[in-house]
C-alpha cells in the first residue's frame, strides 16, 4: 500500500501544473487506497491547488514587474534625452547671450555703430552682424 501511495505522490508532483488532470488520475487510484491515504491525498491536492494559485500569482506579479521595469527604463531614457536637449539648448542660449553682450558692449563703446540682424544661413538661427 505504501508503494501505491508513493506512486500517487510522484504522479501528483509531476502533474502539479495541470490540476484537472491530477484530479482525474487521483480519482481512479482513490478506490485502492485506505481512508487515511485518501484524506492525505485530498489535503495534498488542496495544498497543490493553493501552490498552483500562488505560483500563478507570482508569475502575474513578475509580468507586471517586468512591464513596470520596462516603462521605468523607457522613462529614464526619455528623461536623459530631454535633459541632453535642454543642456544643448542652454549652451546655445548662453552663446547667443554672449554675442548680444558683445554687441551691447560695442554699442556703448562706439555709439555711432548700427547693429542689425543678418539672414538665416543654412537654416540656422539668425546671425547678428555689426554694420
**Tens digit of each residue's pLDDT, the chain (131 residues):** 456 666 666 666 666 656 655 555 555 565 666 677 777 878 888 888 888 888 888 899 999 999 999 999 999 999 999 999 999 999 999 999 999 998 888 888 876 655 555 544 455 555 555 44
Alpha helices by DSSP H, the chain: 2-14, 19-30, 35-109
Q: From residue 115, how far is each of 103, 118, 128 by CA, in Å?
A: 8, 10, 8
pLDDT for residue 13: 65
As given in the structure block, the three cell numbers for residue 125 are: 538661427
Max CA distance (Å), the chain: 114
Q: What are the residue boundaries of the structural domains of the chain, listed by start? A: 2-130
pLDDT for residue 54: 86
Global pTM exceeds 0.75? no
Closest CA to 28 of 59, 14, 7, 51: 7
pLDDT for residue 78: 95
Residue with cell 482513490: 30
Q: How far apart are CA 103 and CA 21, in angstroms?
A: 86
Q: How far apart are CA 56 and CA 60, in angstroms?
A: 6
pLDDT for residue 25: 55
Amino acid at each position: 500500500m505504501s508503494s501505491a501511495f508513493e506512486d500517487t505522490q510522484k504522479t501528483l508532483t509531476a502533474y502539479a501544473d495541470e490540476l484537472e488532470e491530477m484530479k482525474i488520475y487521483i480519482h481512479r487510484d482513490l478506490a485502492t487506497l485506505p481512508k487515511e491515504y485518501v484524506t492525505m491525498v485530498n489535503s495534498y491536492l488542496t495544498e497543490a491547488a493553493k501552490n498552483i494559485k500562488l505560483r500563478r500569482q507570482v508569475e502575474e506579479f513578475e509580468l507586471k514587474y517586468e512591464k513596470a521595469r520596462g516603462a521605468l527604463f523607457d522613462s529614464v531614457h526619455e528623461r536623459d534625452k530631454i535633459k541632453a536637449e535642454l543642456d544643448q539648448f542652454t549652451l546655445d542660449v548662453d552663446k547667443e547671450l554672449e554675442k548680444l553682450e558683445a554687441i551691447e558692449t560695442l554699442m556703448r563703446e562706439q555709439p555711432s555703430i548700427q547693429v542689425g540682424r543678418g539672414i538665416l544661413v543654412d537654416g540656422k538661427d539668425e546671425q547678428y552682424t555689426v554694420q
